[in-house]
């Protein structure tokens, strides 16, 4: 089955800095890669996603890149703000299935 | 429109008992997936249902079971509870395939 590795497990940055979280996946059949943000005590919420026919996608301060050959995908957050502090999960899914295989999560702490 | 609703929000059960958790998806969504979230293991996939059919199953013992009804509502059941079953159980609904998945608030199960 699919296996998703996520690094780092914790990330501390100063407000205004950039943050990068990296994930690798094992199954070349995976073609959908969402990123979820989970604040303390709340449900995971989708912040951005990318499909295998695209190499990069941006949404304001957030961007995701995908390297299908290397089976890597990354989340980039620029100009971080304290409200970006949360746990971020990457995930992978195969065509036709709603099953998400998640990485173990990255706790991002943005200090003012 | 209403989001994904999970009931109950909190449960305390004794070892050996069984428990049933409920998930009502967003109206029009026919896919429901269940996940177990623990601090050590992160988000682990349990089941995926689409139009009352189980399409995929995670690597959990047979004590974990689920079903989906004709109105897309889903239930999961855990029999012979163990202390290690204490976790946040999340369900997610979507239109199916790799469409965006929306999570419920979760059911916090504590086994004592």
**pLDDT at A90 > cutoff 90:** yes
Q: What is the DSSP string of A50-107?
A: EETT-SEEEETTEEEEEETTTTEEEEEE-S--GGG-EEEEEEEEETT----EEP--EE
Share of chain B above pLDDT 90, in %: 90
Mode of pairing for the β-strands spanning B64-68 and B74-78: antiparallel
B60 with B78: CB under 8 angstroms?
no
> How high is the pLDDT of residue A73?
97
- Chain mean pLDDT for chain A: 95
Q: pLDDT tens across A40-77, in order?
A: 999 999 999 999 888 999 999 999 999 999 999 999 99
Judged by CB atoms closer than 8 Å, whether chains meet at A99 and B48 is answered as yes
B63 with B46: CB under 8 angstroms?
no
pLDDT band at residue A8 using 50, 70 and 90 as cut-offs: very high
Distance CA B93, CA A31 (A): 19
**pLDDT at A30 > cutoff 80:** yes
> How high is the pLDDT of residue A96?
81
Which has the higher per-residue pLDDT, B12 or B1?
Answer: B12
Nearest to A43 among B48, B96, B103 (CB): B103
A92 Cβ contact partners less than 8 Å away, ≥ 6 residues apart = A2, A4, A23, A25, A27, A30, A32, A33, A100, A101
- Burial class (CB within 10 angstroms; exposed 0-12, middle 13-18, buried 19+) of B84: exposed
pLDDT band at residue A107 using 50, 70 and 90 as cut-offs: very high
Residues in chain A within 8 Å Cβ distance of B103: 36, 43-45
Instruction: Identify which of B83, B75, B87 has the alpha carbon closest to the alpha carbon of residue B25.
Output: B75
Within an 8 Å CB–CB cutoff, is residue B44 touching chain A? yes
Within an 8 Å CB–CB cutoff, is residue A52 touching chain B? no
pLDDT band at residue B1 using 50, 70 and 90 as cut-offs: low
**pLDDT at A79 > cutoff 90:** yes
- Vertex A16 angle, CA A21 and A104, to 5°: 20
What would you measure as the largest C-alpha separation in chain B, in angstroms? 39
Give whole-number Cα distances, A36 to A33, A75, B4, B78, B88, in Å. Answer: 10, 10, 16, 27, 16
Counting one residue from A and one from B, how many pairs have CB atoms under 8 Å apart? Answer: 70
pLDDT band at residue A97 using 50, 70 and 90 as cut-offs: confident
**pLDDT at B2 > cutoff 90:** no
Nearest to A98 among B42, B43, B94 (CB): B94
How close, in Å, is residue A1 to chain B by CA atoms? 10
* pLDDT average, residue stretch B1-30: 96
> How high is the pLDDT of residue B37?
97
Residues in chain B within 8 Å Cβ distance of A95: 97-98
B49 with B68: CB under 8 angstroms?
yes
**pLDDT at B106 > cutoff 80:** yes
Q: How many CA atoms lie within 13 A of B107 on its CB side?
A: 26
Share of chain A above pLDDT 70, in %: 100
| Strand-pair partners of A94 | A30
Rg of chain A on CA atoms, in Å? 13
* pLDDT average, residue stretch B54-68: 96
Within an 8 Å CB–CB cutoff, is residue B53 touching chain A? no
């Amino acid at each position: 089955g699919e296996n998703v590795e996520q690094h780092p497990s914790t990330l501390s940055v100063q407000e205004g800095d950039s943050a990068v979280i990296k994930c690798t996946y094992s199954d070349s059949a995976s073609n959908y890669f969402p990123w979820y943000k989970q604040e303390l005590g709340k449900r995971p919420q989708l912040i951005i996603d990318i499909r295998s026919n695209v190499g990069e996608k941006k949404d304001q301060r957030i961007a995701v890149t995908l390297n299908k050959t290397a089976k890597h995908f990354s989340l980039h957050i620029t100009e971080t703000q304290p409200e970006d502090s949360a746990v971020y999960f990457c995930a992978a899914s195969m065509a036709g299935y709603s099953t998400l295989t998640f990485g173990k999560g990255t706790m991002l702490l943005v200090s003012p | 429109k209403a989001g994904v609703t999970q009931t109950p929000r909190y449960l305390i059960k004794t070892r050996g008992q069984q428990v049933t958790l409920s998930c009502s998806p967003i109206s029009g969504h026919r896919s429901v997936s269940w996940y177990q979230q623990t601090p050590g293991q992160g988000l682990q996939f349990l089941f995926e249902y689409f139009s009352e059919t189980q399409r995929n199953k995670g690597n959990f013992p047979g004590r974990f079971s689920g079903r989906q009804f004709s109105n897309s509502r889903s239930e999961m059941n855990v029999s012979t509870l163990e202390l290690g079953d204490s976790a946040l159980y999340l369900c997610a609904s979507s239109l199916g395939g790799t469409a965006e998945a929306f999570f419920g608030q979760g059911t916090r199960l504590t086994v004592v």
